[in-house]
């Protein structure tokens, strides 16, 4: 940590956004929940559509690795705010700070909280990193119908669609939901209607930040907090 | 949350301790790392030896359930600071707030951070909850030799023994360590020598707190943090 109790966290967005406020949205959600985290957000260039598929990921990897290497020099921990966890393993091996992805994080937090996990995506399919990590704890997968854009999720129709999808996961025997796309955080809908779901829904960006906090040890140690 | 950004977290200790400072040690470690968490710690009665084995767990369960029910009424999230996760599922189903255990949490955070997890215990064996959650990602298990008491861990010999055990886990191909006993947090040794290990070592108490933070949604939502 750069100073007592303060964690400098890099938030790498894999979607090209023009407005700095949009770039830093996930970072602000993190700071809102974790007041001791200070975030720096940057996005890769030339990808206004993000990486909507595993195929698109391949092409974006050099951009993510390049930006990740730059950002890693100024932070205590680097997060890649995408549930595909693109370039996370490569960067984690390469740079001097821990690198954490939203995909492994949301899957991990979900299995810490429930026996049977339902994934919820905006596109069809669950990212391989999430599927692999969940293993036989993956109970069901749902896609939010009509969610071609995250803007849709903030509409009444979109929120109803999310509720319905979560209800289907609960009916399928899932006892926790792992949203497998950070667009669900971007939409604000998890915060807006989060506590009203019948089963817990993990926020993928907050899961990533929570995992990130465990990678940075406090300056003071347990022996020092003894009275 | 009871007020903006502040999480009230119960920390239930399954070891009977006389000194309130000892009871609250894990809570203070959590508050040190997460300044927005306010902890309340209590311990079960009549168990000065804690629950050193799965067998001893059975006998202690009614005490943990009784105390857990009491503590749950005053907190946003209840944590059971023991890697056996005793009574966690029962309490989580029964009380009105989320209940999180150290065992599932340390296992979950470890698989978010590495491919092959080594567990490190003070007694022989890895708790079933940890073993089940890790599945085929459990690469190796080590026991700290000579650690009949956690006091030993704070000695030079004890710390050397821990380093040696972690090196054996790394040599066995593990790329992250999940200590499967919260006594390793009590000893202070993870904080003292944590960043000097060759592979990351997850603190089980901080892992539990990190998972706990994800169960409590911020009052303000993503849409409200938009500029």
Q: For the segment A7-64, what is each residue's pLDDT rounded down to a tens digit?
A: 999 999 999 999 999 999 999 999 999 999 999 999 999 998 888 777 788 999 999 9
Residue B198's pLDDT is: 78
Residue A226 has pLDDT above 50, yes or no: no
The enclosing H or E element of A173 equals none
**Per-residue pLDDT tens digits for A53-94:** 777 889 999 999 999 999 999 999 999 999 999 999 999 999
Are the folds of B7-101+209-214 and B103-204 the same? yes
Which of B 22-81 lie inside 8 A of A, CB atoms? 25, 28-29, 32-36
Contact B191 A109 (CB under 8 A): no
CA nearest neighbour of A27 among A162, A148, A215, A182: A182
Burial of A162 (0-12, 13-18, 19+ CB in 10 A): buried
Q: Cβ of B185 and A214 within 8 Å? A: no
Closest approach of A112 to chain B, Cα-based (Å): 5
Residue A12, beta-bridge partner list: A42, A80
- Kindly state the tokens that stand for A226: 């003894």
* Residue range B132-161: mean pLDDT, rounded: 84
The per-residue pLDDT for B223 is 46
A chain contacts of residue B220, beta-carbon cutoff 8 Å = 32, 191
Domain covering A7-101+209-214, topology: Rossmann fold (3.40.50)
pLDDT tens digits along B156-201: 888 888 888 999 999 999 999 999 989 888 877 776 666 667 799 9
What value of ipTM does the predicted structure carry?
0.91
Chain A hits for B128, CB-CB cut-off 8 Å, are none
Q: Identify the residue whose tokens are 């809908």.
A: A189
Task: Say which of A35, A133, A206 has its CB closest to residue B214.
Answer: A206
Determine how many CB atoms are found less than 10 A away from the CB of residue B226.
11
pTM beyond 0.80: yes
Straight-line distance from the first to the last Cα atom of chain A, in angstroms, rounded to the nearest whole number: 23
Contact in structure between B225 and A32 (CB atoms under 8 Å): yes
Taking only the tens place, the pLDDT of each residue in B19-73 is: 999 999 999 999 999 999 999 999 999 998 888 777 788 999 999 999 999 999 9
**Per-residue confidence (pLDDT) for residue B222, from 0 to 100:** 44
Local confidence band at B137 (pLDDT 50, 70, 90 cut-offs): very high
**Contact across the interface for A207 and B214, Cβ inside 8 Å:** yes
Span A103-112, mean pLDDT?
A: 97
Query: Quick one: pLDDT at residue B183?
Result: 85
Q: Please, what is the angle between helix A102-113 and helix B204-214, to 10°? A: 90
Q: What residues of chain B lie within 8 A of the CB of A222, using their CB?
A: 25, 29, 185-192
- pLDDT tens digits along A138-188: 999 998 877 666 667 778 888 888 888 999 999 999 999 999 989 888 877
pLDDT at B135: 94
Q: Where are the alpha helices (DSSP H) in chain A?
A: 20-23, 25-33, 54-72, 88-94, 102-113, 128-134, 150-153, 156-171, 183-186, 189-193, 204-214, 222-225
**H or E segment at A133?**
helix A128-134
- The beta-strand segments (E) located in B54-203 are 77-80, 99-101, 117-121, 138-143, 176-179
A76: which DSSP letter? S
B196 touches chain A (CB under 8 A): no
Q: What architecture is the A103-204 domain classified under in CATH?
A: 3-Layer(aba) Sandwich (3.40)
Question: What is the pLDDT, as a whole number, of residue B220?
Answer: 46
Q: Report chain B's mean pLDDT, rounded to a whole number.
A: 88
pLDDT band at B224 (very low <50, low <70, confident <90, very high): very low
pLDDT, greater one: A129 or B51: A129
Q: Do A5 and B135 touch (CB under 8 A)?
A: no
**Other beta carbons within 10 Å of B5:** 16
B131 touches chain A (CB under 8 A): no
Chain B: give the shortest CA distance to residue A168, in Å.
Answer: 20
Judge: A188–B223 Cβ closer than 8 Å, yes or no.
Answer: yes
Residue of B198, B219, B222, B224 to mutate when probing chain A, most A C-beta within 10 A: B222
The torsion region of residue A87 among left (phi > 0), alpha (psi -120 to 50) and beta comes to left
- Tell me the HSE value of B142 on the side-chain side, using a 13 A CA sphere: 25
User: What pLDDT is attached to residue B195?
Assistant: 63
Other C-beta atoms lying within 10 Å of the C-beta of residue B38: 17
Domain boundaries, chain A: 7-101+209-214, 103-204
Judged on CB neighbours under 10 Å (0-12, 13-18, 19+), A224 is middle
Closest CA–CA distance from residue B45 to any residue of chain A (Å): 22
Is B104–A112 a contact, with Cβ atoms under 8 angstroms apart?
Answer: yes
A207 touches chain B (CB under 8 A): yes
Count of CB pairs separated by less than 8 Å, A with B: 158
Region of poorest pLDDT, from B102-106, B118-122, B145-149, B176-180: B145-149
Confidence of residue B4 (pLDDT cuts 50, 70, 90): low
A194 close contact with B: CB closer than 8 A: yes
Q: What does the pLDDT read at residue A221?
A: 44
């Amino acid at each position: 940590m750069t100073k007592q109790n303060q964690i400098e966290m890099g938030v790498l967005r894999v979607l090209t956004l023009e407005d700095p406020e949009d770039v830093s949205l996930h970072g602000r959600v993190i700071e809102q929940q974790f007041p001791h985290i200070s975030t720096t957000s940057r996005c890769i260039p030339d990808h206004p559509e993000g990486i909507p598929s595993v195929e698109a990921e391949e092409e974006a990897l050099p951009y993510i690795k390049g930006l990740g290497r730059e950002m890693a020099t100024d932070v205590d921990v680097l997060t890649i705010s995408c549930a595909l966890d693109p370039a996370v393993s490569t960067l984690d091996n390469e740079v001097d700070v821990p690198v954490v992805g939203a995909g492994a994080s949301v899957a991990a937090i979900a299995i810490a909280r429930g026996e049977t996990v339902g994934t919820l995506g905006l596109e069809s399919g669950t990212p391989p990193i999430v599927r692999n990590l969940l293993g036989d704890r993956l109970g069901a997968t749902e896609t939010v119908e009509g969610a071609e854009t995250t803007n849709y999720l903030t509409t009444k129709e979109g929120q109803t669609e999310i509720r319905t999808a979560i209800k289907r996961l609960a009916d399928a025997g899932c006892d926790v939901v792992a949203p497998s796309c950070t667009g669900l955080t971007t939409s604000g809908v998890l915060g807006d209607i989060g506590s009203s779901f019948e089963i817990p829904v993990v926020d993928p960006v907050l899961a990533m930040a929570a995992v990130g906090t465990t990678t940075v040890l406090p300056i003071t140690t347990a022996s020092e907090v003894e009275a």
